Structure 1
Amino acid sequence: MQMSKVVSHSTEGNLLAEFAGRSSRAEKKKSTNLNNSLYSVLIFYHLMAVLVQYSHYYSLPYNSCRRTTRPFSPFKLSSPTRLDLSSSYNTPISHSSRSFELPRNRCHKVVFSEEESTVGSTSAATDTDVFRLTYLEGNSWLWEVGGATILVDPILVGNLDFGIPWLYDAAKKFLKNFQLSDLPQVDCLLITQSLDDHCHLKTLKPLSDSSPNLRVIATPNAKPLLDPLFSNVTYLEPGESSEFDARNGSKVGVKATAGPVLGPPWQRPENGYLINSPQGQLTLYYEPHCVYNKDFLEKERADIVITPVIKQLLPKFTLVSGQEDAIKLAKLLHAKYIVPMKNGDLDGKGFLASIIQSEGTVESFKELLAKELPDTQTLEPTPGVPLEISAP
């Protein structure tokens, strides 16, 4: 009788264990299926973004844009691919009487020297070695250096939706009414990547209508999109350099660096850039995903690093890096100033916007930076307000 009771308890225990095991396996399967579904959505999103953008390319006449690009040669230090760079193509973008005039008394100033750095100083600086950085939200910037104005990855017409607004649609939070007509004269358009959040056709088409000969420096991945729009484009692969003339006669140097690979592993990487002031006293580095090639950058130096510091994550996929990766980047380039960009801080709608998660904050980045690089300063930009960094 006692043995029968023991067997009964044992059988009951086995049944409970079996039930628990099945429940655990069911939960794991459910979680795996959810992750696989989200990953499939990510792949679908990426393919849709590429197809939408390249559908524009293939819908154009054959001779106008179907040109064969060079095969990718990593970090090739040869001369860049150039179209016509004659002086007749230096016409700046036209602007209206409502041109973008930001009040000087709101401009945050920083004076930099090799010995010490002070924030808020108003010491005089040479005109050619001052970076004046205006954040236009998202990945968009307006930079002024050496008498030249550089427009970076502009999104100034409509929202950012990759052509699939039902899946993702994002608007700016602060500069909602800022338009192309509000820009000052632009001397150079700088494009880092070929997808819509950097190479925004809704903005670039009207920009090219008003200034088709505007000087453009871009990743070769954007060639099918830019060739039909602009006639004065220089495509830089990582390691290649170019320069352009400012209105005061000085020259601004641009060198491409390797950014993220947005596609299969064999695809050419997108670009980051090193910008040198005319007198060479200041160098700025910019890459909007905080993705970089360590071996390539270890030979470079940058006083100013513009980078995201807040990570943007999808399940099993990092859209934008930051935090400790931004610290490593600052160490690599021996940066003296970090200018954090919040390119995920948009009013987003749609399924993809709902599943994108942020990791870290600007404050948590500052804490990491204070521990790892106590002499490096974080300079937070305010959208629409210029931030000046000068070399005495």
Structure 2
Amino acid sequence: MQLTWLDSNSWLMEIAGKTILLDPWLVGSLMFNNLDWLFKGIKPKSYSIKQPIDLILLSQGLEDHAHPPTLKELDHSIPVVGSPNAAKVVKALGYTQVTSLSHGESYTLDNAISIKAVPGSLVGPQLIENGYIITDLIDQNRLYYEPHGYHSPTLKEESPIDVVITPVVGFNLLYVIPFLQGQKSTLELCKLVKPQFVLPTATAVGDVQYEGILAKLITQEGTVESFRQLLADYHLSTQVLTPKPGEIIELSLAKGVLT
């Protein structure tokens, strides 16, 4: 299993001989409803994916997960799996092979990978987006992704899970409104599914620069090192890996070591 963090929520995964592009933001800026004065994310460099992409996987329909400028540039014939809201976005952009997954539903890619949608982030009063459990059907290794740190209690039924990609630090608006869960929720997740590895996503250690009114009102809660200490305090053997943007991480999960 190879994982490459492309900064923010974006990941390139090579699992069971297949390449999955997850929540890609590869080019251009990030804005919500084109309101750059409110919030704007700037990547100092663009990412070019050289190998063929077998699947695009989208957890949410919001711009930081279904990034319109990136999706407009990618090949619209690539199969896409996403939450119902994300599926609407890519269908409107002209993608031709789109599968919408509701919670509990699964998708199989070439008999090599299974993708199961589970309840994920709360992004509205009655809107819960997707997290995913990705299973290598050849080696039976499993990865769980949820980009905002909202973890369903139903994950207990999925334990153990080998690799988790989720925030390990929290981000709050005006100090009190959490929009990224962090230390506590991910600690409880590690107790629940006992992963070998956790890789932080949507962290403050990437290269992305943020501007706008909202960016000035965001505060961070906890650090990667304090989360490592929490794992040690609870006698959990989970390792926290912190790749740099663009760095390839190769996991040898059968032996539980990083190569």
Distance of 1:166 and 1:305 partners within structure 2: 34
Q: 2:222 aligns with which of 350, 355, 360?
A: 360
For the pair 1:230 / 2:92, whether they are aligned, the reply is: no
Deviation at 1:184, TM superposition (A): 1.8
Check conservation: 1:331, 1:373, Cα contact below 8 A: no
Q: How does 1:48-127 map to 2 (within 5 A)?
A: none
Distance of 2:253 and 2:39 partners within structure 1: 42
Q: 1:260 aligns with which of 99, 115, 121?
A: 121
Q: Which amino acid aligns with 2:57?
A: L
> What residue number does 1:212 align with?
76
Distance of 2:21 and 2:165 partners within structure 1: 15
For the pair 1:241 / 2:241, whether they are aligned, the reply is: no
> What residue number does 2:257 align with?
none
Check conservation: 1:161, 1:168, Cα contact below 8 A: yes
Query: Which is strand-richer, 1 or 2?
Result: 2
Q: Comparing 131-140 with 328-337, which one deviates more in the overlay?
A: 328-337
Check conservation: 2:6, 2:47, Cα contact below 8 A: no
Distance of 1:149 and 1:353 partners within structure 2: 33
> What residue number does 1:319 align with?
179
Deviation at 1:389, TM superposition (A): 1.1
Check conservation: 1:339, 1:378, Cα contact below 8 A: yes
Check conservation: 1:132, 1:144, Cα contact below 8 A: yes
Q: 1:202 aligns with which of 64, 69, 73?
A: 69
For the pair 1:341 / 2:201, whether they are aligned, the reply is: yes
> Structure 2-normalised TM-score?
0.91
Let me know the Cα RMSD of the aligned residues: 1.5
Check conservation: 1:281, 1:391, Cα contact below 8 A: no
Distance of 1:159 and 1:365 partners within structure 2: 30
> What residue number does 2:112 align with?
251
1:179-234 deviation per Cα after TM superposition (whole angstroms, max 9, x unaligned): 34x43210000000111100100111121xxx222111100022321112211111
1:154-198 deviation per Cα after TM superposition (whole angstroms, max 9, x unaligned): 1112111111111111123xxx33334x43210000000111100
Distance of 1:146 and 1:298 partners within structure 2: 25
3-state SS of paired residue (1:234): strand
Deviation at 1:350, TM superposition (A): 1.1
Deviation at 1:253, TM superposition (A): 0.8
| Runs ≥4 residues deviating over 4 A | none
Q: Which amino acid aligns with 2:100?
A: Y
Distance of 2:242 and 2:45 partners within structure 1: 22
Query: Which is helix-richer, 1 or 2?
Result: 1
3-state SS of paired residue (2:122): coil
Q: 2:13 aligns with which of 126, 143, 152?
A: 143
3-state SS of paired residue (1:329): helix
Check conservation: 2:5, 2:243, Cα contact below 8 A: yes
> What residue number does 1:382 align with?
244
For the pair 1:308 / 2:175, whether they are aligned, the reply is: no
> What residue number does 1:166 align with?
37
Q: Which amino acid aligns with 1:314?
A: L
> What residue number does 1:153 align with?
23
Please list every run of 5 or more consecutive structure 1 residues that lacks an aligned counterpart in the other structure.
1-130
Deviation at 1:344, TM superposition (A): 4.2
Q: Which amino acid aligns with 1:340?
A: P
Q: Which amino acid aligns with 1:261?
A: L
> What residue number does 1:221 align with?
85
3-state SS of paired residue (2:103): coil
> What residue number does 1:179 align with?
47
Distance of 1:328 and 1:305 partners within structure 2: 12
Deviation at 1:280, TM superposition (A): 4.1
Distance of 1:334 and 1:201 partners within structure 2: 35
Distance of 1:363 and 1:148 partners within structure 2: 33
Q: Comparing 145-154 with 160-169, which one deviates more in the overlay?
A: 160-169
> What residue number does 1:123 align with?
none
Q: How many residues are aligned here?
A: 248
Distance of 2:56 and 2:87 partners within structure 1: 14
Distance of 2:225 and 2:50 partners within structure 1: 32
> Structure 1-normalised TM-score?
0.61
Please list every run of 5 or more consecutive structure 2 residues that lacks an aligned counterpart in the other structure.
255-259
Check conservation: 1:310, 1:342, Cα contact below 8 A: no
> What residue number does 1:329 align with?
189
